[in-house]
Every structure is written in structure tokens, then in C-alpha cells.
Amino acid sequence: MNTTAPQVKSESANRQLNQIIEQAWAITLEESPSLSYALGNNQAGNQLPDLAPLTLKKAADKKRDLLSRLKRLPLAPLSTQERMNAELLQYQLQNQIDKYDFHRHYVPLSAESGFHAEISRIAKSKFHNQQDYQNYLDKLAALPTYFAQQTYWLKQGLKHHITPPQVVLDGFDASIEAFITPAEQSIYFTPFHNMPTHITNAKQLKQQAINIIQNDVVPLYQDFLLFMRDQYIPNASRSIAASDLPKGKQFYANRVAHYTTLAMTADEVHQLGLKEVARIKKEMNSIIEQFAFKGSFADFLHDLRTDPKFYPKTELELLKEASFIAKKADAMLPKYFSRLPRMPYGIAPVPAEIAPKYTTGRYSGSNRDDQAGYYWVNTYALDKRPLYELEALTLHEAVPGHHLQIALNKELEGLPNFRRYSYISAFGEGWGLYSEYLGLEAGFYKDPYSNFGRLTYEMWRAARLVVDTGMHAKGWSRQQAIDYMAGNTALSLHNVTTEIDRYIAWPGQALSYKIGELTIKRLRQDAETRLGDQFDIRKFHDALLGNGSVTLSILEQQIERFIQSQLKSPQDGA
């Protein structure tokens, strides 16, 4: 009898899987020179992404081949962790292929920003030596090619009727105009303001930068502004519905499946949203009753939106309050987590060039060991940034929300890089919303107004299930979605409008928050019920975060294994 056959089969499957993982990761690094450089490939330090048609097609073809090989791979011989690797890589590759097939590269723009603003992040890298500056100058010199490639795809979008809806591009030109400045006032000149003293040719490097910015970069933005004003925006789609795009119904169903990671239809998501909105509204009304407020729900929301006491008077006040809340949140972490990330984070305003149409706050992570992530707070339009929402926002974006989860993910050992540097929205955003709930459990919210702010954030995410599916699958108008969101949340009307435009331009993504949070809460309830006195919240959170960003079906399996392991282990003191 051949006793080595199963082992040989296992080793063969393992070897094939590792080869596929390595080849897929190589494509990722080719597509993202900044990530490649951050992980130690110095040759990528002066490169920008190559978006030429042939380059994108070759990458898509390679991914199809890898996905085909992955689907043929026998899973039975693999370990639990290897099967998880295979399933997660299949999820990622399938999404990348789907996005290519649905021509999402025709749309390098969002309601908030676009490639022209995102690429300016190269100016916010760390600069330590002369080579860093030379690499940066090389990237500035490569911007004309990068803009030409992106503009080519935008023109393809016009030709094939795949563009963002025209309505979400209103005011978009302001984000381009912000880059049309004298060279030394340009965002791109920022690295040259305070150069390290040991760089001997600083004057020469500065002059090179001025020349490139003045002669190449600023004209790029001027040309792009004219293109957007004269050609793109006037001819962009009039419909807000993803289902009206070419193959639109298939596309939206695909996005619902991707962003929920579950087999849910748009109608199922919509009905769940209506149910959650009704439940949360009861909780909101119970808080209103505590104030003995005489008036309707809408009257109470109006008071919150218009009373100056709820709003910061200066940008510094808003940033200081966010910083204080963030530090206060640090103190609650040991009670809920046995492992915390090594990497700290900072707090900064949303960059001015994108702030007017940007969401109220966001976590901006970093792939470099020498550069922290940042919790961005939007300081534009202070009379639209209520302080009663700031505690929930901070718990979501900073800790125990996105920073804690993402930083821990990157520090996990034994995972392939494609998992350490990936982000699955249903898991990550579900965790962020669950983190807001943890604040309630920890007694974090300072008063009923802040707790109402938490509920309005939860309502915001529940209403997303309704308005996203409403607009993209049920024929809702933009105004109908705005009215629904404004009528059910205490979000400022400015926030409501920018959020609705975000959902219009980013179909399906807004579904991930509530779907993920409900799954996490359900899994915790199951663990508490089955484990009873054995339930340990810190161990549960370690199990939840211990495999990084995963699909919700994998998370369910993960927590089931955790429950089984806890049931088998002796209780303390037994």
C-alpha cells in the first residue's frame, strides 16, 4: 500500500497554489509601483502605473488564466489556511476581471475626486535622501504619459456611454483648478519646502522641480480642465442608475454580490434596509423623548442641523475635538483587545483640493513602515460638521475601527502578501460600523446627543441599503434618495447630498457597511449564546481580526472554528 500518496497529492496542490499566489502578487506589484517600492523594490521608486491598453489587456488575460487554474485546483488536500488563501484569491481575481470586463477603467473618476487628485499623493511621501527626490522628479516627468493614458480611457467611456452621471460632476472642475497655481505654490512642490540639510544639491533639485511643474504639470491640469469642461461633462450620462449602463443590470447585480460578499439580490438588500431603518428610528425616537422635545422627528432634526452650539467655530476646534476623542478611545482598547497594532496614526484635515465634495471623514492608510496612516477629518463647511457625530466617526475611522483593523492586518504573520495588503469592504466597513456600537457598550458616548449621533450614523448606513438599491435598481431619482436620507438621519443637508452623489458614482459599495455589521453582530450573539460564561470578548475580537480581511462566508467559518475550540478548552479554574 502506498502510504505516501495523500502526502504527495497535498504537496502538489500546495505547490500549485503557492505558484498561483506568487504569480498573482507579481501582477499586483506591476500594477502598483508605489506598493512595490514601499515593499522594497527600489527600481519601482520612479515609476507611475502603466495604463496602456495592451498592458491592461495582458494583465487581465493573465488573471483569467490564474483564475482558471485556481478553480481546477483540488481543495481537499489543502490545509484550512490554504483553502482560505485559495478562496480569497479567487474572490479578488474574479473582481478584477469583472471590473475589466465591465470597463471600469473607463471611469477613473468618482463623485469626490479622480485620478488627477489621487496621483498628487506622490508629493506626500517621505523624502530622506537625494535619490528620493530624483525618483520624485522622474515621476513628475512621467505625469504627461499618465494623464494621456487616463484621458484616453475617459474618451473611450464617452464613446461607449460609460461615464459617471453628469449630475455628480457638478463642481468637479474646482478639484482640477486647485492644481493650477504658480510652481512654488503647487502641491507638487511641497517636498522641496523643507529639504534635509544633508542634501548638497538642494538648490538644483528645487529648480528642476519648478521647471517641470511650470512647464509640464500645470499645463497638464489646464488641458485636463478644458477637456472636462468642453468635452466630458457636457456629454456625460444623464441617468444616475447603474442599471442604465451597457449591461447595467448585470453590472449592478455583480457589484451587489461583490460588496456584500453574499448571494443577495438588490431587492433583498432593499427590504433589509427598510426593516433596519424602521428599527433604528424607534431607538432614535426614544432618545428624543428623553429631551421632552415638543415637535416632530423632522423638527428635532431641523434643530440639530441649525443650532450653532452643535458645530465647531474653527478648523482647529474640530481637529482638536477629534484628537481628544481619538485619545479617549485609546483607553477603551485594552478591555476589548489583547493585541494592538504597532503602527500609530495621525489626524489631519482632508486635503483642501478635494474637501468640498469629499465625505465627512476617512482613514487613509500607508503601506510604508516609516509612514503612519491618517484619520482625515473634513474641515470644509464647518457649519455642516456636527460635533454630536464626531465620536461615532472617530471610532469608525481610527480606533477601534479602520486604523486598528488595517494596521493589524498588515502586521499579521504567516499570511501571503495579497492578504496582508487587501481590503474587503464588507469586512472592513462592517468592522468600522461595529466599532461605533462598541462605543455604546463601553459607555463612550458622552451624552444623549452623541448617542443620537451614533444612531444617525447607523441609520445612515441602513438608509444606504435603501437608496443605493433604489437608485440603481428600482428607478429612484436623485432627489428621492436625498429626501429619504434627509428625512431619516440628522446628517447635514450638505453631507446628505455629497453622500448620495457618492453612491451614484460608486454603485454597490455603500451596501457593505450594514451587511458586514449585521453579520458580525450575529456571529457575536451566536458565540455568546453557545459559550455562555466561557465567552471572552477579547478572544472573540482576536478571532474576528486574526485572519485579516475576509469575505463574510469565510468569517462565519472562522468564528465557528473559534466557538468549537473554546468549547473544547477547559474553563479557567476548572
Q: If you write DSSP's letter for every residue of 221-248 in order, what string do you get?
A: HHHHHHHIIIIIHHHSBS---GGGSTTH
Decide which of 242, 276, 309 is a domain's last residue.
242
263 and 237 within one domain: no
- Confirm whether 533 is domain-assigned: no
DSSP result, 373-429: EEEEE--SSGGG--GGGHHHHHHHHSTTTHHHHHHHHHH-SSS-HHHHT---HHHHH
Other beta carbons within 10 Å of 79: 11
- Confirm whether 30 is domain-assigned: yes
381 and 262 within one domain: yes
CA 390 – CA 470 distance, rounded (Å) = 28
- How many domains does the chain contain in total? 2
302 and 219 within one domain: no
pLDDT per residue, tens digit, the chain (574 aa), is 344 445 546 679 999 999 999 999 999 999 999 999 999 999 999 999 999 999 999 999 999 999 999 999 999 999 999 999 999 999 999 999 999 999 999 999 999 889 999 999 999 988 999 999 999 999 999 999 999 999 999 999 999 999 999 999 999 999 999 999 999 999 999 999 999 999 999 999 999 999 999 999 999 999 999 999 999 999 999 999 999 999 999 999 999 999 999 999 999 999 999 999 999 999 999 999 999 899 999 999 999 999 999 999 999 999 999 999 999 999 999 999 999 999 999 999 999 989 998 999 999 999 888 889 999 999 999 999 999 999 999 999 999 999 999 999 999 999 999 999 999 999 999 999 999 999 999 999 999 999 999 999 999 999 999 999 999 999 999 999 999 999 999 999 999 999 999 999 999 999 999 999 999 999 999 999 999 999 999 999 999 999 999 999 999 999 999 999 999 987 654 4
255 and 140 within one domain: no
- Confirm whether 522 is domain-assigned: no
Per the structure, the complete domain to which residue 167 belongs is given by 5-242
Place of cell 415638543: 294
Place of cell 476646534: 317
Ordered strands of the 345-349 beta sheet: 345-349, 373-377, 361-364
Q: What is the pLDDT of residue 1?
A: 38
Decide which of 516, 535, 560 is a domain's last residue.
516
DSSP result, 172-221: THHHHHTT-S-GGGSGGGGGGSS--TT-TTHHHHHHHHHHHIIIIIHHHH
Q: What is the pLDDT of residue 368?
A: 85
117 and 140 within one domain: yes
- Confirm whether 43 is domain-assigned: yes
258 and 229 within one domain: no
DSSP result, 438-499: HHHHTT---SHHHHHHHHHHHHHHHHHHHHHHHHHHS---HHHHHHHHHHH----HHHHHHH
51 and 22 within one domain: yes
Q: Minimal CA–CA distance to 446: which of 369, 382, 487, 389?
A: 389
Q: What is the pLDDT of residue 571?
A: 63
299 and 238 within one domain: no
**C-alpha grid cell, residue 16:** 500549485
448 and 346 within one domain: yes
- Confirm whether 550 is domain-assigned: no
DSSP result, 544-570: HHTT-S--HHHHHHHHHHHHHHHHHSP
Decide which of 191, 216, 242 is a domain's last residue.
242
- Confirm whether 542 is domain-assigned: no
DSSP 129: S
255 and 176 within one domain: no
Place of cell 426614544: 286
CA 553 – CA 84 distance, rounded (Å) = 11
- Confirm whether 530 is domain-assigned: no
312 and 176 within one domain: no
- Confirm whether 538 is domain-assigned: no
481 and 361 within one domain: yes
